[in-house]
Structures are given as structure tokens and as C-alpha cells.
Homo-oligomer: A and B are copies of this chain.
């Protein structure tokens, strides 16, 4: 309620002095400053962000758009970003697009007119032309996270998805599996496509023939993964292990296996990308490939604030972080323990 004028009047100084004693203490004598501070105290004065940002041409706000806040990966990302941002004096405007490109677009519009100082965007779905043009109209710094795309020269921080998928697949291969199912994310987004690539590379490295029938593409959500798992296990010759491309899909997969009466890891081994707090409360405890979520959030904020402060300019680059295999209990040797295969896998007719 109290304005800077009131403070000035009470302290018997000009408004400029009030502003200075708060924002540039060096410019005002100690005596006046303390008088001003006392006046602020008694009036319980707080400057209005709107007026301040109008004048300073910066709002102290960061926009954060995530694809699905109930996904533990994003939840943790939000936690990290909010923590660091607020530590650095920024507030964060949270937007949840719920995997809906239309909502994402609307959120971008809002952020644009809110005139946030920067945006961290975990974009949903693939990049439509309209969105990329909207993005390019936005004059504030944007850093992409989790899912990247080229063409706009934006900074991005992403997982080394090929490595992650490679690690997961290789772990299963080491345990002796040769028929490994993949619950793939949509290949229209980088995370989906790259993880598929990593899977294939791992197979190739172990000279296992890639069987397209073993990879089912689904959305990144639980139910689709459930259905895909059922389909996979009903194959004439089902996989002995399944690799789920993210956490939600892992959950759908676990639920499906359990409903099918399949024991894990006795009947089928499972692994997934995305570690999360309760992975070790599931029975069996889930073996996963963990993303350095917190680090990703930190790096995104760092890149963003660097740009905001002008410490960074020019066209952006993609920063790739490494995943880490977390071995727990969900991977065992396949039932008919195939011996570590001889050079040619095709030798054994697989029908």
C-alpha cells in the first residue's frame, strides 16, 4: 500500500534518495540511509515489481515450460530450476503444457507478454513450423532442455540419449539376453529417436541382429506402454527382456507384466531410462539408467542467466550430459540361459 513517496515524506528526503539508499547505498550518507531504512521498516514498504520492471526493462521472472509436471523427471527438474533461480533472485513462472503443443504455444504467448527475462523450455512433441516461428519471434533468451532441436540456434541441455540407451541395452546383453524388446518413445522427438539409435548400436556392437518386430513405438506415457508390453509378450517368441524408454513407460510395463502373471526378473528382465525416487521401492527394485536431472536444471539456469547478463552471446550450442547405469534387481539371465553367443547369431534359426 505504501509507496516510495510515503517513505520519502516520512524520512524527509526525496524519492530519489529512497531509491538510492536501497539500490545504491554508496551514493547516500550513512545518516540519511538509516533514516530511510527506518521509514521503510515502519511503513512496511515493498517496491512494486510492476513499476520497477517497467522502468528497468526487466522483470526478474523466468519462464519454465515443462511437458508434464507429474512425470518425476520434470518434477525434479522443476525443483532444481526453482531452487537455483530463486537463489539467484529470479522468480519462476511455471507452465505445464501437459504434452499438448497447443497449450505450449499459448504458454509461450503469455510468457512473451509477461516479458520474462528468459525461458527454459522442455518442449512437447515435435517442432511444428508455427511453434518455431513463434519461438523465433520471442526476443528473450531461450534454453531448451531434455528435447532439443536445431535451426533456431538455441542453447540446449540434453542427455546423451544414445549413450543412455546403449548402456541399458548393453547391460541386458551382458546378462545374456539376445531378444530384447524396446518400448520406444515417439521417434519424432529427439529423445525418442536417439534412444532407438542407441539401442540399435548396442545390438550391432554385440552382433545381434536388429528385429523390428521387437520395438514398439508408443507415446511417453504409461497406458500406451502398458498396451505395447502386452503386445510384446504375446508375440509367438516374446523377448526375454524389455527396455523402456522412460520412467512412465517403465511403470506401464511393470503393471502389464504383473497383470500378465509374469515374474520379474525371473520370467523377463526389465530396464529403463530415468531413475526416480521410488525405483527402489518397487519389487523388484528397478535397474535404470539415471539422468543427472539436477545438473541439467542447474546448467540450464546457468546458460540462461549468462545470456541475460550478457555474459554469453551469439548462436547457442547443445550441451550433452552423460547418463549413469544404476544396477538393482530387475535384470537377470534369461530363462533358457543362452550362453554368451558365438560370433554369428544368425546361426541359430530363431523361429
* Chain A residues engaging chain B, CB cutoff 8 angstroms: 1, 44, 46-51, 53-54, 59, 61, 64, 69-70, 72, 75-76, 78-79, 82-83, 86, 91-96, 98, 106-107, 109-110, 112-115, 137, 139, 222, 251, 254-255, 258, 277-278, 280-283
Contacts and interface: CB of A to CB of B under 8 A. Distances in A.
A256 to B, nearest CB: 10
A69 B59 contact: no
12 contacts: A46-B112, A46-B113, A48-B115, A49-B59, A51-B54, A69-B79, A75-B75, A78-B94, A222-B277, A251-B278, A251-B281, A282-B282
Contacts of A109: 46
Contact of A281 (B49, B50, B112, B255): B255
Given A50-B50, A50-B115, A54-B54, A78 B86 contact: no
Nearest to A248: B277
B76 A91 contact: no
Given A70-B277, A82-B96, A251-B281, 13 more contacts: A46-B113, A48-B115, A49-B50, A49-B114, A64-B94, A69-B79, A86-B110, A91-B95, A91-B114, A93-B93, A255-B280, A278-B278, A282-B283
- Copies of this chain, how many? 2
A326 to B, nearest CB: 16
A75 B109 CA distance: 24
Nearest to A111: B91
A91 B70 contact: no
Lowest 3 CB-CB distances: which A-B pairs, in order? Answer: A94-B94, A46-B113, A50-B54
Contacts of A86: 95, 106-107, 110
